[in-house]
Amino acid sequence: MKTFRIGGIHPKEYKFSAGKRSQEAVIPKRVMIPLSHYIGAPSVPVVAKGDSVKVGQLIGKANGFISANVHSSVSGKVLKIDDVLDASGYRRPAVFIDVDDDNWIENIIQSKDIIRECNLSSEEIIKKIADAGIVGLGGATFPAHVKLSLPPGKKADVLIINAVECEPYLTCDHQLMMERAEEILVGITVSMKAINVNKAIIGVENNKKDAIEHLQYLIQTRSFEGIAVEPLKMQYPQGGEKQLIDSLIRKQVPSGALPIEVGAVVQNVATVFAIYEAVQKNKPLIERMITITGKSMLNPSNFMVRLGIPLSSIVQQSGGVPDDTEKIIGGGPMMGRALASLDVPMAKGSAGVLFVPATESQRGKMKNCIRCAKCVMACPMGLEPYLLMNQSERSMWDEMEHNCVMDCIECGCCSYTCPSVRPLLDHIRYGKTTVGGIIRSRNVKN
């Protein structure tokens, strides 16, 4: 079975919510729709206090190249535009809307009938995706239309669909594949057309055998051409973009380069579902699947949630916060962010809420590095985490740059594997941020 060639770890899965049918999250009286995502410039609000909005109406306009439109996920009245604490821990602008009924704008096709026909040109498809405000739903939230607009002179050979979901606990992509497989396959066909390739590979980790079989069955019986499903070995970080490309087409994206350098374009499976809805149903990105889970949760489950709904409201619907919770993570346990509060809005990049019991919320006591080299063996980018941590502690920025710190994907394999429980990634991340700043200011000077 295919996998990437350097490093990796095997964390326990804990996919409690696997196979749980997704529920519609109840829409509360008030939502706060973030105008910004973690990457790129915030969108500019095009509504004002007191305006009435409908579901799917544009409320924030993309501001610059790496930015995405934002649409209202509910109908109602704009209360205010104000800063809100979001899941990343920063205060960012959001549109507060008092919900009233559920009126959609007219041109969205609300029926669930599948539309396969697509006669649009590549440019028209990308335009529709940009208009719909679709960003990468795997977590990085990079605008999808930017990824699909190939740089001049570059040609793509293959579209890679990231359906790996290698983070422990999370099951939202898995469930989406079980429930909306055909839509996903149409979304892939549309995306293939957008970047003008005739080959697509869906990479799925082998712990989702039912999804693999379901997709393969549909590809055969409903004749989707050029799409293949590839089961992948369970190994973290299989879903890292560069790792996935290495696993599937045995090419390593050079340091600092984009996947197109090796002829690949990668999209998350939830993103291609959003692309299907945008292109075939005129529906902008106003909702996504999220997993609410944890070891002490009575009922870990998957929800289809409109953007802007406070996470606390969804958690209420799934049985409330478990009593022994001492840490709440937005996302998975390997790369997710610890939340300071549940009163943060559902955003485009929210894939999960994980409740960590008190017994597992704190790290062990740090000991001396015993030079066991387990971090070096685990690093999927071929770096030396122990060395980078030492250099970061001593502010040796030049040496860190020389030792490729900018290649770090912050997957956390090093910290996970360290028998001395050293906070390797904390120090490397700090060094990487500093070195990144140094490189940027150097480029400005030149």
Partner 1 sequence: MNKLIVSPSPHVHGGDTILKNMRDVLIALVPAYLLGLYFFGLGALIVSVTAITSCVLFEYLIQRFLLKTAPTINDFSAVLTGLLLAFNLPSNLPVWIVILGSLVAIGVGKMSFGGLGNNPFNPALVGRVFLLISFPVQMTSWPRPIPFSMTYLDAETGATPLALIKNHFGQLPDTLDLFVGNMGGSFGEVSAVALLLGCVYLLLRKVVSWHIPVSVLTTVFVFTGILFLVNPEQYAPPIVHLLTGGLLLGAIFMATDYVTSPMTKPGMLIYGVGIGIITVIIRVFGAYPEGVSFAILIMNAFTPLINAYVKPKRFGKVKK
Q: Minimum distance from CB of 349 to partner 1 (Å)?
A: 14
Give dist(CA 253, CA 242) in Å, integer.
6
Give dist(CA 122, CA 89) in Å, integer.
37
Q: For residue 136, give the nearest of 244, 4, 234, 229 by alpha carbon.
A: 244
Q: Could you say which of 41, 85, 369, 406 contacts partner 1 (CB under 8 A)?
A: 369
Compute φ and ψ for 197, nearest 5 degrees: -120, 160
In sequence order, the 6+-apart residues with CB closer than 8 A to the CB of 86 are 34, 36, 92, 94, 344, 345, 347
Q: For residue 288, give the nearest of 326, 320, 314, 318 by alpha carbon.
A: 314
For 157-286, list the strands marked E by DSSP.
158-163, 200-205, 227-232, 264-268
Question: Are residues 165 and 239 in contact, defined by beta-carbon separation less than 8 angstroms?
Answer: yes
Binding of partner 1 by 224 (CB under 8 A): no
Looking at the Cβ atoms of 64 and 320, the one nearer to partner 1 is 320
Scanning 75-83, 217-225, 293-301, 363-371 for contacts with partner 1 by CB under 8 A, the matching segment is 363-371
Binding of partner 1 by 407 (CB under 8 A): yes
Q: Could you say which of 219, 425, 431, 432 contacts partner 1 (CB under 8 A)?
A: 425
Looking at the Cβ atoms of 346 and 418, the one nearer to partner 1 is 418
Looking at the Cβ atoms of 190 and 414, the one nearer to partner 1 is 414
Looking at the Cβ atoms of 49 and 402, the one nearer to partner 1 is 402
Give dist(CA 250, CA 290) in Å, integer.
31
What is the CA angle 129-134-138, rounded to 5?
135
CA dihedral 421, 425, 431, 436 (to 10 degrees): 180
Instruction: Report how many residues bind partner 1 under the rule CB under 8 A.
Output: 73
Q: Could you say which of 13, 131, 179, 384 contacts partner 1 (CB under 8 A)?
A: 384
Question: Are residues 165 and 208 in contact, defined by beta-carbon separation less than 8 angstroms?
Answer: yes
Build a one-symbol-per-residue string for 102-141: x at contacts with partner 1 by CB under 8 A, - elsewhere.
----------------------------------------
Binding of partner 1 by 298 (CB under 8 A): no
Binding of partner 1 by 374 (CB under 8 A): yes
Binding of partner 1 by 66 (CB under 8 A): no
Binding of partner 1 by 366 (CB under 8 A): no
CA dihedral 360, 362, 368, 373 (to 10 degrees): 50
Scanning 57-65, 219-227, 289-297, 376-384 for contacts with partner 1 by CB under 8 A, the matching segment is 376-384
Question: Are residues 46 and 62 in contact, defined by beta-carbon separation less than 8 angstroms?
Answer: no
Q: Minimum distance from CB of 179 to partner 1 (Å)?
A: 28
DSSP bridge pairs for 174: none
What is the three-class DSSP state of 370?
coil
Looking at the Cβ atoms of 189 and 293, the one nearer to partner 1 is 293
Binding of partner 1 by 376 (CB under 8 A): yes
Q: Could you say which of 48, 66, 109, 370 contacts partner 1 (CB under 8 A)?
A: 370
Binding of partner 1 by 377 (CB under 8 A): yes
Q: Minimum distance from CB of 254 to partner 1 (Å)?
A: 5
Q: Minimum distance from CB of 386 to partner 1 (Å)?
A: 7
Q: Minimum distance from CB of 48 to partner 1 (Å)?
A: 35
In sequence order, the 6+-apart residues with CB closer than 8 A to the CB of 110 are 104, 281
Question: Are residues 71 and 94 in contact, defined by beta-carbon separation less than 8 angstroms?
Answer: no
Q: Which of residues 247-286 bind partner 1 (CB under 8 A)?
A: 251-255, 257, 262
Binding of partner 1 by 433 (CB under 8 A): no
Q: Minimum distance from CB of 6 to partner 1 (Å)?
A: 5
Q: Which of residues 302-361 bind partner 1 (CB under 8 A)?
A: 321, 323-329, 333-341, 354, 356, 358, 360-361
For residue 358, count other CB atoms closer than 10 A to its CB. Answer: 12
